[in-house]
Amino acid sequence: MQNREGVVADGEKESAVSIPVSEFDDWAKFADDDIMQQQSAFHAEEAKKVPFVGDKEPLTMLAAEYESGSPILLEKIKLLGQQYAAIRRTRGDGNCFFRSFMFSYLEYVLESQDHAEVDRIKGNVEECRKTLQSLGYADFTFEDFFALFLEQLDSVLQGNEDSISQDELIIRSRDQSISDYVVMFFRFVTSGEIRKRSEFFEPFILGLTNATVEQFCKSSVEPMGEESDHVHITALSDALGVPIRVVYLDRSSCDNGGVSVNHHDFVPTSGGHSNATSGSTEPVSPFITLLYRPGHYDILYPK
């Protein structure tokens, strides 16, 4: 106390008087900052364990994880093994759906070199851009994210000078400055789609959170780290015209006592984009398959 007074100024009584006060203030704040710091440290630690996008693992690894778990789950994993060969985990940071979708989609393009699909999705991306503009978004707030996604799209198509290999795709997906930007691109697209078709999405959103469409987009779609639900998946799938299959791994079982792994296909409803290639009558078979365990999405690879 005395020392401090000495340090602070001979003349200024005012400042001397209040030092303890402000110290107290700082101290109070410090606790808050401390908690935040701890929290981010925790995240950082978690990050080391699981990269944004992990390595491809055989499905048996998943079985090992549940070895002593629910028999229903084990049974389901066994069933999964009949259809799927591998799993690629993503970090559970709230962005896992978007991150899984990103990698899965780019990887699909990289492997299939499906130029038609790339052209198609570029058309959809332009639509999304217009949607956002018409919704009043300032161009500069989203165009960087759009540009980055289109950049990735181009680079997974081989034959360009900046084409990338799968290894490079993995590296990029683990690079926060790219990965997060692409995730954010998807969030913009999703938010735009929900807002554009707010009448369609409203009942679903009400069922989820009791929030308005606007609030929902603000609080649960656009912010990074907000987890995705079927509303997000539907919107993203519709907006980009990309079908998505989600396989559910939970403890539910069928009425007849038998166990089966159920899945749901999110098939784009809007426009003819998605049907243009596969024909309108044929059922769409999603090339993106995600494994859902309550609270988390990973990528599944069919056999």
Partner 1 sequence: MTQAARLKLRMQKELKLLLNDPPHGASFPFLSPDSDLSDLSSIDAQIEGPEGTVYAKGVFKIKIQIPERYPLQPPIVTFGTPIYHPNIDNGGRICLDILNLPPKGAWQPSLNISTLLTSIGLLLSEPNPDDGLMCEASREYKYNRQAFDHKARSMTEKHAKAGAGENSCSNQCTETNTDSTMMEVQGFDKESKHGANEFIPCHKKPHGISQKLSLESTSSDKKKDSDQDVPSQHFFPSDSMNQMEGKRKREKENDVLNECNLNHEKVNGNGWKLSLKSSNQFKDDFDNKENVDPNYLSSLCQHRASSGSSLLQASRIQQLDQHQDGKSANSSIKSSSKHCQNQKQPCGSTDPLQTCENVKMLETPQEEFVDRMENVSATTKSEQVSSVGRKLSLGLKGSSHKQQESNKENVTPVHNLILPKPQTPGKSGLGRKLSLGPLTQVQQNCGHNQKQQSHRPQSIETDVEIKQKGGEETEEFPISEMVVVLDSEDSEEEGHASLRSRMPIARKRLGKWSAKT
Active site residue 139: no
Closest CA to 62 of 35, 42, 83, 81: 81
Query: Can residue 151 be called a binding residue for partner 1 (CB under 8 A)?
Result: yes
* Beta-carbon contacts of residue 68 (< 8 Å; ≥ 6 apart): none
Name the one range near partner 1 by CB under 8 A: 25-33, 60-68, 121-129, 195-203: 25-33
Name the one range near partner 1 by CB under 8 A: 182-190, 193-201, 259-267, 282-290: 182-190
DSSP3 helix / strand / coil % (the chain, rounded to 5): 60, 10, 25
Closest CB 226 distance from partner 1, rounded Å: 6
* Beta-carbon contacts of residue 180 (< 8 Å; ≥ 6 apart): 95, 224
Active site residue 128: no
Distance of CA 134 to the CA centre of its chain: 24
Cβ proximity to partner 1, 93 vs 202, nearer residue: 93
Q: Specify the 3-state DSSP secondary structure of 246.
A: strand
State the CB neighbour count (10 A cutoff) for residue 241: 22
Query: Can residue 98 be called a binding residue for partner 1 (CB under 8 A)?
Result: no
Query: Can residue 75 be called a binding residue for partner 1 (CB under 8 A)?
Result: no
Active site residue 154: no
Name the one range near partner 1 by CB under 8 A: 22-30, 196-204, 261-269, 285-293: 22-30
Residues within the interface to partner 1 (CB under 8 A):
1, 5, 8-9, 12-22, 24-26, 29, 137-142, 144-145, 148, 151, 176-177, 180-181, 184, 187-188, 191, 218-219, 222-226
